[in-house]
Every structure is written in structure tokens, then in C-alpha cells.
Amino acid sequence: MTPSASFAPAATSAASPSGIDKTPVEYLIDNEILLKNGQDIIGAADEGFEIVIRTNPGYSDTYMVRIGTTGSFQFDKTGGNHIRHVTFQPVGHNNRTTVETIVFAKCYNRELIIENNLFNIPIYGAALILDCKESLDASVNVRRRPGPGLRFAKNTIIGKAIRTWCCVFLPKAGIIVNLHTIVNQSQRIAVIENSFQGEMADAGDFTLGFGSSMDIFRNKVDINNNIGKTRAEEASGRDVPKEGFSLIGHTSGSEEPPLFNLAGNRIRSKNIAIGVEKRIKLALACNHLQAANPWRQPQRQYSLEAVDPLPLAGECERTVGSTSAMVTPTSPTLCQIVNTWTSITGSMINPLSGLDNLDGQLFFDESVCPSVTTPFVAPDGTSSEAGEASTVSTASSTTAVMTGLGVITTLAILLAR
């Protein structure tokens, strides 16, 4: 595959996600980029350029970047893939595109590191979909056959609805991880310090197999998901609840539920903050939920098992964007891991409202530490409007350079490998 390239230094500068003016340099592609074992896509982090990968007019592929295969983990290929410091723009100037998802990952046996990128997500899909349907017990050979690894960190994901004469269509999600057939996998999947902004149905949809776990730390979610529907909803005629994060487990009563570690996230959703489906375990520490409703748990027969959140106290010490070192407290306290809830409607709804089968304690009890009002800070740095939100409700604790041309040349050589 040899994609075509176009270089045209812009006369004006563009503001990067960090707020620093950079010269945009566009790299136009005619076909999807297949990242093979050990290949990377690296932009110009400190050279004053913003590398933009855009689809050419007439682009007909479903994805912009593809990783992995269907039907094989390729256990002998362990060279990781890195995608860093790139702006992805799948939508052309006329708002038409065939792209469903920017990065689509199937089955592989290596690390996928996606950091410090800007994703303008398409209307049909997400910034990233990791969807492996092959079965794997990762505990059988952790060193040689661990299965897919993902670190999705410090990215900015921006969604924008498309308004037609009849409807408003929302992008499906910021990121989707579906690993329900991979079991007993730990410390391989992490979503850390990302910013989800704009209009999209969900910020993240995460499905894990039994005995597996993933980390979701210090993300900022500020999305409007109450203005329309996804293309899939329109096609099926069925409305789907829209959430900040959706956590999905399995239905087996004899296997260990997957564990989701959530710490330090600030989730602002115009609809539901967190959705829970099937059986899962959840460690919830120092998160702030701000939405119309805090929870959705539609299947009462499956329990949400709350596990001890104190081990996550160290993940609460650093806020998103902080450069200070993170130190794990030697003796963490409940005050360090307590969660907060704010209703955007001004109601006094309970912070556990929507949970129908909770096993254990989720800590929202303000009595465990001094009362402190912490306004929600949106990704653009603005705080929530005064009077919009009620104070935190209390739940019982017992229920609770290279030049621009040089950069393009390097990318062209890399992608032609």
C-alpha cells in the first residue's frame, strides 16, 4: 500500500489541543493505513507543526488506520505500534465521508500505544474501536500470549453532530473496546487522561471477558448526548440510552466478573453518567459525576459488585494535566477516595439512583471528609454555570524538526513499508 501524499504549508497557524499555535501540515490518504508489526505513526511534537492526516476526496475505505487481523493473534509478532502527535480529520470540507472509525484494531498480541493525538470523530463510529472476537485465556501464558494491549492516553476526542432536514445524528462513541472473548487478562488495557468533548452518544463503551480488568483514570468527559440519535438507532428504530462511560461484563454465574478500575474521572453527561450491564466488578475512587442521572443498570438480575477502592487512592493524587509526580499514600483514607455527584437538573436525586442490584459499598457519603464545593471544570477550562447544579447529595455509606516537508517524507517512507 502506497498512499498519496500532499504537502502545502499553511499561511496561517492553527491552535493545537495544547493551545500552542502550530503550522498545520496536511497528509492526504487515498487508502486506509495498515500498521504492521512494529510500525508507528509519529507526528511533529516539538517542531512547530501540526500533522493532519485527512482523507482525499473520493476516499472509500471504512477506516483510516487498521491494526491486527481476524482469526489470528499472530503470537510471533510482538513489535508494538505507536500513534502519537497526529490530528485525524476524516471529514472532508463537504462533511461527506465513508469513514466509520478512525483507528480499527482487531486481534493482535502486541502493544498499541495511542497518545497525544487529536481525533475529530466521524458520524458512524469512534476515534478507536478495539474489537477482537477470537477466544484467548491470557492467564495460560502471560509472557508469550497476553493478547491485545492498549494504552489510550492524553488524547483529545471531539464529536460533532450532523444536522439534516429531518434528524440530528450523533457519533456513536469516543472509544469502543470489545474484548468479551478474551478472559483473565489484566494490566493490558488502560484509558488515561483523555478529554472527550462535544457531541457524541457515549464517551466510552467497554466490554470485558470474565476475570479481566482495565484501568480508566483521570479522564475528562464533557459531552452533549441529549440532542439526537446515532445512525444505528435510526436504522433499528430503537432508542439506546446514552452515557458517559458504559461498562459491560458477562452473564455467567460461575466465572469471575471483569473488574473496571475508575479513579479521578470527571464525567459530565447531559444524559446518564455511567451505564452498567451484566455482571461486573467496580472500584470507584474520587470520581465526580455530573449528569441528569448518575447510573443506569437495566438488568436487575445481574449484580454490580463494588470492590475496595482504597488501592486506587494513588490515582487520585494527580488531576488531569498535572505535571507533579504521583505518590501513592502510605495509609489512604476514605476522604481520599470519596466520589461526588452533582445533578445538572438541580434535583436532589440520590447518587446511587439507577442502581438496582448493588453488592457492596460505593462511597458518596460527604460525612467522611470536610464539605468542599468543587465545581466541574470543562475541558476548555470553564467551570459549570452558577446555580446550574445542586450540591452533592449524600448516600449512606452502607449503600454506598524537522521541516514540514521532512515530516511528510518520513511518514511516506514509514507507511510504504
Q: Would you put residue 234 in left (φ > 0), alpha (ψ -120 to 50) or beta?
A: alpha
Residue 12 has pLDDT above 70, yes or no: no
Q: How far apart, in Å, are the Cα atoms of 327 and each of 54, 219, 317, 331?
A: 40, 19, 7, 12
Strands annotated E in 106-252: 111-115, 118-120, 128-131, 136-137, 149-153, 156-159, 162-163, 168-169, 173-179, 182-183, 189-192, 195-199, 202-208, 213-217, 220-224, 243-248
- Residue 63: all three cell numbers together: 477506516
Task: Decide if 102 contacts 71 (C-beta within 8 A).
Answer: no
Q: What is the pLDDT of residue 123?
A: 80
Q: What is the pLDDT of residue 92?
A: 60
Q: What is the pLDDT of residue 229?
A: 85
Per-residue model confidence as pLDDT tens digits over 156-205: 999 998 888 788 889 999 999 999 999 999 999 999 999 999 999 999 99
The more confidently predicted of residues 67 and 300 is: 67
Residues 6+ apart with CB under 8 A from 299: 277, 278
Per-residue model confidence as pLDDT tens digits over 34-76: 999 999 999 987 778 899 999 988 888 999 999 999 888 999 9
pLDDT band at 415 (very low <50, low <70, confident <90, very high): very low
pLDDT band at 374 (very low <50, low <70, confident <90, very high): very low
Q: What is the pLDDT of residue 348?
A: 85
pLDDT band at 409 (very low <50, low <70, confident <90, very high): very low
Mean pLDDT over 91-105 rounds to 78
Burial of 167 (0-12, 13-18, 19+ CB in 10 A): middle
Per-residue model confidence as pLDDT tens digits over 115-140: 999 999 988 889 999 999 999 999 99
Residue 383 has pLDDT above 70, yes or no: no
Task: Decide if 276 contacts 295 (C-beta within 8 A).
Answer: yes
Radius of gyration of the chain (CA): 21
Question: Comparing 74-78, 222-226, 334-338, which segment has the lowest mean pLDDT?
Answer: 334-338
| Mean model confidence pLDDT for the chain | 81
The more confidently predicted of residues 252 and 326 is: 252
Indicate the helix (H) or strand (E) that contains 14.
Answer: strand 14-15
Mean pLDDT over 331-348 rounds to 86
Question: Comparing 20-29, 213-222, 247-256, 303-312, which segment has the lowest mean pLDDT?
Answer: 20-29
